[in-house]
Structure 1
Amino acid sequence: MEKLGEGKTKEVYLLDGQHVLLRFKDSITAGDGAKSDVLPGKGVLNAQTSAILFRLLERHGVETHYVGMEDERTMIVKRLKMVPVEVVLRNVATGSIVKRLPIGEGEVFQPPIVEFFLKDDTRHDPLLNYHHMRYLKLFSEEEARKVEDLAVKVNEVLKKVVEEAGFVLYDFKLEFGRLDNRLILGDELSLDSMRVRDRSGRILDKDLYRRGFPLEVVRDSYSEFLDKLRRVV
């Protein structure tokens, strides 16, 4: 099949005029790709986690690119024109926000905070506002507000299921693409793009890798999350 593109953790292949195959690799990266390793089985874990969560969101009325599975690590998805913006929703303060602003680690946001970042590793994904996105022809202000509303709706669904699995959803990243003038949720939903802790504060997500934990610990945490997710969805 024709390869349309490849990122740090996924490959995209043409399936037909309306669909592509999204193949999840076993690579794991951090620091805009500065740190990289191969974690056997990670692609399968992230593809399966993403499929479960996309199907869940579809049942709750959120339109996604998910169509089905080609194999255990490859999703069949709608072919979108992706917008190079990361939409981050934060329930609990951690990561970059506590470095950028006078906000303490673990502070709870009520309501959640939504932020926009340009997908650009060379510039380390700079923060965007409505004016930047309008000027760069990424999102109009109306589209940005719609995306914010969608992120809040996604949060309601994900937060509930993560809590049912016994964990706490700190934050997550979404990406959107265009299809027939509609904005549709794309990319993935996995522990590469979500921060999840247990109720004691134990990390299950990619922060383990960022903080230098052994690869086996990272894989076991991803597997634990998927196993518990399957029990409640």
Structure 2
Amino acid sequence: MELKYKGKTKDVYSIGGNQVLLKFKDDVTGENGVFDPGANTVGLSIEGVGKSGLRMTKHFFELLKTKKVPSHYVSADIEDVSMVVKEAIPFGKGLEVICRFRAVGSFYRRYGAYVQVGDHLDSLVELTIKDDERGDPTISKDTLSMLGILTDVEYEALKQLTKTICRYIKEELATKGLELYDIKLEFGRDKATNDIILIDEISGGNMRVYKGDKYIEPLELEKEFFK
């Protein structure tokens, strides 16, 4: 295997045939030792979170497959803490799509003059560009179009696909008495077909989940979900 890229929470290896292998790490994003799925730096390492994240990712990608949601998922090896996926081309230098059901985290920090912590949001979709140096700034539909990152049609398709995916994930978590507050997804274009597909992972490391009024840490989330 050839190492293509060392990421914050995963390393990426080329294995040929328009496929890559993702090797999950025990790192999560955050600031000052506190987990934050919206942060753009590695905040802490939690032993076992890589395997935990992959177990949840496998579950959700296989669920989405039954719902005919286009994704990069091919297979996962829990013991090897790795996942084989279709190779994808990022939008620009990378986009992150956040779907918010409640006002917490960076959303509250930005808009606290207008909302209270925990206020309900109607699957609000925000896009940020991946740019550590500039703090992963949010970006508007018009700016995405002007910069040639996404067309207006692609933006609307991405927005609706995000809402659909996140509804499935929220409903699945609710079956275990868990509530999804927000989640960060990534999309790209299938290298072989150019179709828009869901990429990256779907785990506690990129979502904020509560049980009642208690926040569930990423590693605990996996235990709660599969018990």
Under a length normalisation based on structure 1, what TM-score does the superposition of the two structures give?
0.86
Q: Identify the residue that residue 20 of structure 2 maps to in structure 1.
A: 20
Q: Identify the residue that residue 195 of structure 1 maps to in structure 2.
A: 208
TM-fit CA distance, 1:35:
5.4
Q: Identify the residue that residue 94 of structure 1 maps to in structure 2.
A: 104
Does residue 169 (structure 1) correspond to residue 176 (structure 2)? The answer is no
Q: Secondary structure at the match of 2:144?
A: helix
In 2, Cα distance between the equivalents of 1:71 and 1:100? 38
Q: Identify the residue that residue 223 of structure 2 maps to in structure 1.
A: 227
TM-fit CA distance, 1:91:
0.6
Q: Identify the residue that residue 47 of structure 2 maps to in structure 1.
A: 40
Structure 2 residues without counterparts, runs of 5 or longer: 32-38
Question: Are the equivalent residues in 2 in contact too, given 1:2–1:13 (CA < 8 A)?
Answer: yes
One-letter amino acid of the structure 2 residue matched with residue 50 of structure 1: T
Equivalent positions of 1:180-219 (< 5 A) are 180-199=193-212, 201-205=213-217
Question: Are the equivalent residues in 2 in contact too, given 1:82–1:176 (CA < 8 A)?
Answer: yes
Equivalent positions of 1:102-117 (< 5 A) are 102-109=114-121, 111-117=122-128
TM-fit CA distance, 1:228:
3.7
One-letter amino acid of the structure 2 residue matched with residue 195 of structure 1: R
CA RMSD in angstroms comes to 1.6
In 2, Cα distance between the equivalents of 1:33 and 1:92? 20
Q: Identify the residue that residue 212 of structure 1 maps to in structure 2.
A: none
Question: Are the equivalent residues in 2 in contact too, given 1:97–1:103 (CA < 8 A)?
Answer: no
In 1, Cα distance between the equivalents of 2:110 and 2:83? 36
Q: Identify the residue that residue 215 of structure 1 maps to in structure 2.
A: none
Q: Identify the residue that residue 219 of structure 1 maps to in structure 2.
A: none
One-letter amino acid of the structure 2 residue matched with residue 108 of structure 1: H
Deviations 1:66-88 (A, max 9, x none): 11024531001001112211111
One-letter amino acid of the structure 2 residue matched with residue 125 of structure 1: D
In 2, Cα distance between the equivalents of 1:130 and 1:147? 11
In 1, Cα distance between the equivalents of 2:28 and 2:206? 12
Residues 48 and 132 (structure 1), Cα distance of their counterparts in 2 relative to 1, 3 Å cut: same
In 2, Cα distance between the equivalents of 1:15 and 1:34? 27
In 2, Cα distance between the equivalents of 1:70 and 1:144? 33
In 2, Cα distance between the equivalents of 1:223 and 1:181? 35
Q: Secondary structure at the match of 1:139?
A: coil
In 2, Cα distance between the equivalents of 1:140 and 1:162? 32
Q: Secondary structure at the match of 1:178?
A: strand
Q: Identify the residue that residue 34 of structure 2 maps to in structure 1.
A: none
Question: Are the equivalent residues in 2 in contact too, given 1:47–1:74 (CA < 8 A)?
Answer: yes
One-letter amino acid of the structure 2 residue matched with residue 79 of structure 1: E
Deviations 1:11-57 (A, max 9, x none): 00011122100010112332456554332211111111111111111
Does residue 79 (structure 1) correspond to residue 87 (structure 2)? The answer is yes
In 2, Cα distance between the equivalents of 1:27 and 1:106? 27
Q: Identify the residue that residue 65 of structure 1 maps to in structure 2.
A: 72
Question: Are the equivalent residues in 2 in contact too, given 1:159–1:169 (CA < 8 A)?
Answer: yes
Q: Identify the residue that residue 213 of structure 1 maps to in structure 2.
A: none
**Size of the alignment, in residue pairs?**
213
